[in-house]
Amino acid sequence: MRKRTRNRLVIVGAGVLIILALLFTVIVSCNSCTTHPQPVEAPTAESTEPQTTKPEKYIIDENVKVIEQTDLKAGCETYACTMLFNMLGFDLDEHTIADNYLNCQFVFGGDEEGDQKYGPDMYSAFAGTAYSGWGVYAPSMAKSMNKYLQDQKSKLKAYNMEKVPLETLIDDYVSKGVPVMVWATTDMDEPYVYDTWIVNYVDENARTKIGDTFSWYMHEHCLVLIGYDKDNYYFADSTAGKISVFNKELVKKRYEQMGEQSIVVK
C-alpha cells in the first residue's frame, strides 16, 4: 500500500511540474509579444503611386501660329476654331470654316428709326457672316466644327463645354496639351448690350423662342486658351495677332459674363 501511494505522489508531482513549465512558457511568449512588437515593413517604391503636380507655368506651344483677324471682321470664332484645328494637326485656313461650315442667318431690318431688327438666336446660328456680322455662340460653333471633322473622317469630336470653370478646363485639358476655345471679350473689356433683335431662327440649342428678344454684347470675343501661370491665362488671340496674357480674375469675370462658354475637341 505505501509503495502504491508513493508512486501516485511521484506521478502527481511530475504532472504539476509539467503544468508549471507550460504556464511559464506561455507567460514568456506573451510578454515577448507585448514588449517586442514585430516591425511593420515600409512600402517599397514599387507599391507607392507617384504623385503628379501641375507645374506653376505651362504653355502648350509658345510658338503657336496665331492668325491675325483681317479678312473676317466678325470672325473671331472662326479664327479661334482654325487655330485650334491647326494645333491639332489639321491643315486649313479661316476661310475653310467661314465659307463652308458656318450656319449663317442674317440680321435684317432696323434701317429706319423705330424699325425692328430680326435675326437668329446666336446659340443656334451665326448672326450675319464671319465677313460682316455679330457672331456665334458655342453650341452652334461646335456643330459647324463637327461637320468639318466628319468630312475629314476624323474620330475627334467638338464638345460644347458650357458652365465649366476655367481652372477645370486648365486641369483637365490645357495642362495635358489640349487647347480650348473660350468666349470672353476683346482685350477683356467690359461687355454691354449694344444691339437687340427679334428672334426668327432657333434650333435645339436655342435659349430663346421665336418672337423673343435676343441681345448682342459689345466686345464679344472668342480666343484659344493655351496656357497659364500663377496669376495669368495665355491665349492665342486673333484680334491681337499674338499670344495675349490676361489676369486670371479678370478673365474669369469676362468668361462668366459671356455665359461660361467653351469648346474642347477630343
Over residues 47-88, the pLDDT tens digits come to: 344 446 788 999 999 999 999 999 999 999 999 999 999 999
Q: Which pLDDT belongs to residue 207?
A: 97
CA–CA gap between residue 252 and residue 56 (Å, rounded): 18
Q: Which pLDDT belongs to residue 127?
A: 98
Could you say which residues of the chain have pLDDT below 70? 1-52
Q: Which pLDDT belongs to residue 142?
A: 98
Q: Which pLDDT belongs to residue 31?
A: 44
List the domains of the chain with CATH numbers.
58-265 (3.90.70.10)
Check the CA dihedral 102-70-220-81 and report its sign. Answer: positive
Residue at grid coordinates 471633322: 149
* Distances in whole angstroms, Cα of residue 9 to Cα of each of 18, 169, 230: 14, 89, 90
Helix axes 138-151, 76-87, angle to 10 degrees: 40
Q: Which pLDDT belongs to residue 52?
A: 61
According to DSSP, the β-strands at 104-105 and 126-128 are parallel
The full DSSP string for 13-58 is HHHHHHHHHHHHHHHHHHHHHHHSPPPPPPPPGGGSPPPP---S-E
Residue from 94, 109, 101, 104 nearest 132 by CA? 104
3-state class (DSSP) for residue 190: coil
